[in-house]
Amino acid sequence: MTAGLFTIPLWIDLLAVGIGSVQGAAFAAQFRDRRLDLLGVAIIGIATGFGGGLIRDILLGQVPLALRSNWYLPVAVAAALLGMLLQRLVHRLGVTINILDAVTIGMFGAIGTTKALALGLPVVPAVFVGSVAAVGGSILRDLLLNLPIAIMQVGSLYAVAAIVGTSTLVVLDALGVDVLIAGIVCVVVTFGVRVLAVAFHWTLPEQRHLPTGAIRIVRRPRRPGPGR
Amino acid sequence: MTAGLFTIPLWIDLLAVGIGSVQGAAFAAQFRDRRLDLLGVAIIGIATGFGGGLIRDILLGQVPLALRSNWYLPVAVAAALLGMLLQRLVHRLGVTINILDAVTIGMFGAIGTTKALALGLPVVPAVFVGSVAAVGGSILRDLLLNLPIAIMQVGSLYAVAAIVGTSTLVVLDALGVDVLIAGIVCVVVTFGVRVLAVAFHWTLPEQRHLPTGAIRIVRRPRRPGPGR
Amino acid sequence: MTAGLFTIPLWIDLLAVGIGSVQGAAFAAQFRDRRLDLLGVAIIGIATGFGGGLIRDILLGQVPLALRSNWYLPVAVAAALLGMLLQRLVHRLGVTINILDAVTIGMFGAIGTTKALALGLPVVPAVFVGSVAAVGGSILRDLLLNLPIAIMQVGSLYAVAAIVGTSTLVVLDALGVDVLIAGIVCVVVTFGVRVLAVAFHWTLPEQRHLPTGAIRIVRRPRRPGPGR
């Protein structure tokens, strides 16, 4: 396994964080009944912008990268306020932003996966950490807005794109491909899956169960499930 | 304090994770309005299966054990998909699964508590960490499904069973009992409390307050509480 | 940057934790439909009492301070049960408790910020960590109660008070002021902003967007936003 890191220049990372924050704030703007104030918008921006990176580093036992620089927080907050003010523009630019976002999750996935590999994690958890880095911000956003987690619901492949991209990365890495090339392929694959999924409405199947005949169920009064 | 760990073979740990994942997925299946897709089911399986272990290791400042092996993630995902497909069977097997689950939380509690003690935590936080390891998965499950946290509500003792079991463990440990025996007693006690609670509908009292007379309340227009 | 810590005696820290727990439990008591049992109340007390400190230490890569002593858990649980029993008294004492709480968030902010600085974090993340330490408990409380996060909504400045206080601290610290004095100023400023905000109903503006004319929006059928 490589100890190489797929890294990107700070300004690109900050740009990616900003894209996430703009989106998070514009998304939150749809929920006016939440009565978010400016701080609430800033918090959503922070969560969406680098929440995935926070979770990644906490899982890896590291002080989060975004807290080791003065840049991440102001960028996320400014981008969130911009996204709030220009929410209509952001919604009109939906396609453009989906495209930028697809690049972003590809990059976050590649950074997270190579960081996990470099710290000695096996390949399966490395894919997990990279995917969480890519989509964790959107999970945090939904938790903080008290909404169902979007990536767990039927919808155009988003987390799946990150999983496919980061899986490709670990395969290439195991084959000895240079980490820079593997990382770029990860971004391209993630981007491709995500954009094609949006274009062609690819979705995962909804949860289902085997037909009742198959397990010879006997109708009886409903019992409480094993939830508690 | 001992530095001994109560450990179990990997395959038993994975079996316990699988039991948690099956349950989590079957539980989630009740909420069809959530429109979970297969990834959503897998995420619930991961959260329920080893979410408690993730929180335990994050609290202890360690890279989570489940991320240091290639096994945990596939087992949790496969078990979740199985639980989804066979959800009716799982609900029919409610009693069996409750019993298996009671053993599981006992084991997770014993592992978590002895790990905390071995890392030098005092006894009270060690009981806390062990109990969180036992029931943290169910908390994460409810958070991700945007549901009230089941273990905080009136219901058959579940977290309480883990607290009683792990408390027994630290007492035995303080008395110099071998960690293997203390751990087994923890599993047995947790199992016993849980199963008896389900059988006899033991519950904790619901939240209440002292009768108003006792504090001579004067009726007045309701003021906002100290919530914010 | 200083490596000095603003510390307070253990008993004051425990008192602050207790105040948070009392409040959390009394707050939770308003939601009887949640059917919380005594354990649920205890969990809310723990989350509100030292949840901010837990998040602070996890972000800083440390085993949480509250888990390195036997005192925090019993104090938080006992205070929560007291807050539950005396919830009417607590609500009647709203003003007093708001005042005590304002001191508490000031102290938690000062402790968190100086701890972050001492561990080498830059000033902006140090303000972030201190503010999260101050208000993170209330975020956890709302997450666990499945409520909208109060500090993100329009309301009397609470998190803002902590941000202003901790920002003052880092400025003073950069100017070479002794950490003890800077910490005390932080507490006083946080307290002042919070109490004045409650007294005069100071709030942050609600989220808004630029007037549509400014971005020449063309009315068209609403498209889904970039949420997924």
* C214 Cβ under 8 Å from any chain A Cβ: no
Task: Look at B222 and C104; give whichever has higher pLDDT.
Answer: C104
Say what the pLDDT of residue C40 is.
Answer: 95
Confidence of residue A2 (pLDDT cuts 50, 70, 90): low
The pLDDT tens digits of the residues spanning B119-151 come to: 999 999 999 999 999 999 999 999 999 999 999
Q: Measured between CB atoms, which of C119, C205, C209 is closest to A37? A: C205
Instruction: Using a CB–CB cutoff of 8 Å, tell me whether B7 touches chain A.
Output: no
In the predicted structure, residue B92 carries a pLDDT above the cut 90:
no
| Shortest CA gap A36–chain C (Å) | 4
C132: enclosing H helix or E strand:
helix C123-144
Q: How far apart are CA C40 and CA C64, in angstroms?
A: 22
Average pLDDT over chain B, rounded to an integer = 89
Euclidean distance between the first and the last CA atom of chain C, given in angstroms as a whole number: 42
Q: How many CB pairs under 8 A join A and B?
A: 131
Chain C residue closest in CA terms to B132: C43
pLDDT of residue C164: 97
Supply the pLDDT for residue C210.
78
DSSP chain B: ---------HHHHHHHHHHHHHHHHHHHTT-GGG-BBHHHHHHHHHHHHHHHHHHHHHHTTS--GGGSSSSHHHHHHHHHHHHHHTHHHHHHTHHHHHHHHHHHHHHHHHHHHHHHHHTT--HHHHHHHHHHHHHHHHHHHHHHTT---GGGBSSB-SHHHHHHHHHHHHHHHHTT--HHHHHHHHHHHHHHHHHHHHHHT-BPPBP----GGGGTPPP-PPPP-TT-
A141-153 mean pLDDT: 93
Whether the predicted pLDDT of A217 surpasses 70: no
Please give the pLDDT value at position A33.
85
Round to whole Å and give the CA distance between A38 and A36: 7
Q: How would residue B221 be classed by pLDDT, with cut points 50, 70 and 90?
A: very low
Residues of C in contact with A204 (CB under 8 A): none
- The radius of gyration computed from the CA coordinates of chain C, to the nearest angstrom, equals 19
Q: Which of residues 169-198 of C touch B (CB under 8 A)?
A: none
Residues of C in contact with A81 (CB under 8 A): none
How confident is the model over A179-203, as pLDDT tens digits? 999 999 999 999 999 999 999 998 9
> Residue B2 has what pLDDT?
53
Asked if the C-beta of B201 comes within 8 angstroms of chain A's C-beta atoms, the answer is no
Q: Is the pLDDT of residue A213 over 90?
A: no
Tell me, yes or no, if C90 comes closer than 8 A to chain B by beta carbon: yes
Tokens of A165: 């991209």
SS3 at position C35: coil
How much is the pLDDT for B209?
80
Mean pLDDT on B54-81:
96
Contact A59 B64 (CB under 8 A): yes
B172 compared with A7, residue with greater pLDDT: B172
Tell me if B37 and A61 make a contact (CB, 8 A cut-off). Answer: no
Nearest by CB: C152 against A43, A67, A85: A43
Tell me the count of A-C CB pairs closer than 8 A. 132
Interface contact C204-A37, CB threshold 8 A: yes
The reported pLDDT for the residue numbered B153 is 92
Q: Using one digit for the tens of pLDDT, what is the confidence trace for B26-42?
A: 999 888 888 899 999 99
Which among A122, A206, A226 is the nearest to B37, CB-wise? A206
ipTM of the complex: 0.88
A204: contact with C, CB 8 A cutoff: no
Which residues of B are less than 8 Å from C25 in CB distance? 207
Contact A169, A116 (CB under 8 A): no
pTM of the predicted model as reported, rounded to 2 decimal places? 0.90
Query: Looking at CA atoms only, how far is residue B212 from chain A in angstroms?
Result: 33
pLDDT tens by residue, A15-54: 999 999 999 999 998 888 888 999 999 999 999 999 999 9
Indicate yes or no: CB of A36 within 8 angstroms of CB of C209.
no
Whether residue A156 is predicted with pLDDT greater than 90 in this model: the reply is no
Burial class (CB in 10 A: 0-12, 13-18, 19+), C200: exposed
CB within 8 A of C127, min separation 6: which ones?
C113, C163, C166, C167, C170
Taking only the tens place, the pLDDT of each residue in C101-149 is 999 999 999 999 999 999 999 999 999 999 999 999 999 999 999 999 9
Mean per-residue pLDDT, B89-95: 84
Residue C2 burial (10 A CB sphere; 0-12, 13-18, 19+): middle
pLDDT value at residue A4? 77
Mean pLDDT of each 10-residue bin along chain C, 228 residues long = 73 92 91 90 96 97 96 97 90 84 94 95 97 96 93 91 97 95 96 93 87 50 45
